[in-house]
């Protein structure tokens, strides 16, 4: 087989997955990667709800031990924390759009750091101060190590770890964008994505082999870097309005289910994270394609269902960062004080606290973020 023929075969394969030439939504509502951008807030809402559900099943597993069974165990085993992976995919998608609109590194980092660090410090600083200075009497050095994520690497402290992986992804993004945006066609973009993901997985496996202690501390974060890289590719495909093959999505979903359940291929943490992420992400694609069909329906009732679902899930997506920060804060406080969030009454406290405080936290954060994003110092109130 000649090189030209091999390239033609690769192109045909990728066209089947990505839908080939780019296409806009028409009256027939052709499935497109652009749907992921249109329903990004909805998918963020789904993902934060999955994360909150996972936290509950995790607490339930710790409480019940060998008696842990039923639907909660199925969710814990096969969905797990894959909502984080989908959020990282959507983060990569959003960053791609943002950089295409304004490729200014200074503005990019100022806005992203303000968006994440302001609410993080508003929630985590009092949380860590209570835990390190009041409850454990560990002192200021420990507080500084916790708030700056030093203890994430040294002592396996995973509270608020998602903020750290977000910062790492922000640092990586310009390089990932350059690799993908510089691809001559979408086939090359796919190949470059696979190469970057493969390299990341190889580095992770090397870390596991040569420093298993460090790997055990950081695996929750490093195993998810490929999800962000894939998200950047999805951003490119969405920005270019590439068509999406639902046959490929459904085939991929069937293969992942087969690998997860009958074949039980999730034998290592990296593979487990990958398969769960694929299951969640492909399921989300099916969900938004269904939503787009409801939106295009001539039935007022079906369009009403579409609007209601989007409003509800979109609200959760709009405040996903605040919900995450508050949820893990209240959950941790209850758990370390002996009030396990596995009990329904305490889980209700966790959920209600996150729901009620997320909007005020968001609004207060914006007051501080606005001058920071514009490059000005916050002014004292007169």
- Per residue in 197-241, pLDDT (tens digit) is 999 999 998 999 999 999 999 999 999 999 999 999 999 999 999
In 103-245, beta strands by DSSP E: none
How much is the pTM?
Answer: 0.86
Give kind and range of the element (H or E) at residue 27: none
Report the share of the chain in percent with pLDDT over 90: 68
Q: What is the pLDDT of residue 77?
A: 85
Q: What is the pLDDT of residue 353?
A: 96
Cα–Cα distance for residue pair 328/55, rounded to 1 Å? 8
- Burial string for 47-74 (b: 16+ CB within 10 Å, else e) reads bbbbbbbbbbbbbbbeeeeeebeeebee
Residue with tokens 């985590």: 124
Given pLDDT bands bounded at 50, 70 and 90, which one contains residue 68? confident
| Domain residue ranges in the chain | 30-288+298-370
Yes or no: say if 135 and 336 are a contact pair by the CB < 8 Å rule: yes
- From the CB of residue 160, how many other CB atoms can be counted at a distance below 10 Å? 21
Cα–Cα distance for residue pair 196/304, rounded to 1 Å? 42
Cα–Cα distance for residue pair 302/294, rounded to 1 Å? 5
| Selection from 214, 116, 204 nearest residue 160 by Cα | 116
pLDDT in tens, 253-283: 999 988 887 767 667 777 888 889 999 999 9
Interacting residues of 182 by C-beta distance below 8 A, sequence separation 6+: none
Q: Is 185 left (phi over 0), alpha (psi -120 to 50) or beta?
A: beta
Interacting residues of 125 by C-beta distance below 8 A, sequence separation 6+: 147
Cα–Cα distance for residue pair 176/180, rounded to 1 Å? 6
Yes or no: say if 303 and 295 are a contact pair by the CB < 8 Å rule: yes
**Position 22 pLDDT exceeds 50:** no
Cα–Cα distance for residue pair 316/355, rounded to 1 Å? 9
Cα–Cα distance for residue pair 57/75, rounded to 1 Å? 8
Tell me the CA distances in angstroms from 137 to 28, 130, 134, 159, 270, one per residue in order.
64, 9, 5, 18, 36
pLDDT in tens, 148-207: 999 999 998 999 999 999 999 999 999 999 999 988 888 899 999 999 999 999 999 899
Tell me the CA distances in angstroms from 219 to 194, 204, 216, one per residue in order.
20, 8, 6
């Amino acid at each position: 087989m000649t090189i030209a023929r091999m390239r033609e075969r690769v192109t045909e394969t990728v066209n089947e997955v990505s839908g080939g030439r780019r296409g806009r939504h028409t009256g027939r509502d052709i499935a497109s990667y652009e749907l992921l951008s249109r329903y990004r807030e909805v998918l963020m809402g789904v993902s934060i709800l999955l994360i909150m559900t996972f936290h509950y099943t995790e607490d339930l597993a710790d409480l019940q031990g060998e008696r842990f069974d039923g639907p909660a165990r199925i969710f814990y085993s096969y969905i797990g924390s894959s909502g984080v992976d989908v959020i990282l995919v959507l983060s990569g998608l959003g960053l791609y759009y943002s950089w295409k609109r304004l490729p200014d590194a200074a503005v990019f980092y100022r806005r992203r750091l303000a968006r994440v660090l302001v609410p993080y410090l508003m929630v985590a600083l009092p949380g860590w101060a209570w835990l390190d200075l009041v409850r454990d009497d560990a002192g200021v050095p420990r507080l500084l190590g916790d708030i700056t994520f030093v203890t994430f690497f040294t002592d396996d402290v995973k509270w608020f770890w998602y903020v750290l992986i977000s910062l790492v992804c922000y640092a990586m993004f310009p390089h990932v964008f350059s690799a993908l945006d510089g691809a001559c066609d979408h086939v090359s973009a796919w190949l470059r994505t696979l190469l970057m993901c493969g390299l990341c997985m190889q580095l992770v496996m090397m870390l596991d082999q040569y420093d298993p202690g460090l790997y055990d501390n950081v695996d929750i974060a490093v195993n998810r870097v490929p999800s962000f890289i894939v998200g950047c590719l999805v951003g490119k495909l969405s920005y270019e309005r590439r068509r999406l093959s639902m046959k490929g999505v459904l085939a991929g979903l069937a293969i992942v289910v087969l690998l997860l359940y009958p074949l039980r291929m999730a034998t290592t943490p990296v593979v487990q994270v990958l398969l769960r992420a694929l299951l969640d992400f492909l399921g989300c694609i099916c969900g938004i394609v269904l939503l787009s069909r409801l939106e295009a329906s001539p039935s007022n009732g079906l369009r009403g269902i579409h609007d209601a679902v989007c409003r509800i899930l979109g609200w959760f997506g709009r405040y996903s960062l605040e919900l995450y920060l508050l949820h893990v804060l209240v959950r941790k406080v209850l758990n370390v004080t002996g009030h396990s969030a596995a009990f329904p009454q305490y889980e209700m406290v966790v959920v209600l606290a996150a729901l009620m405080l997320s909007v005020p936290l968001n609004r207060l954060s914006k007051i501080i973020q606005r001058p920071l994003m514009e490059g000005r110092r916050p002014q004292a109130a007169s």
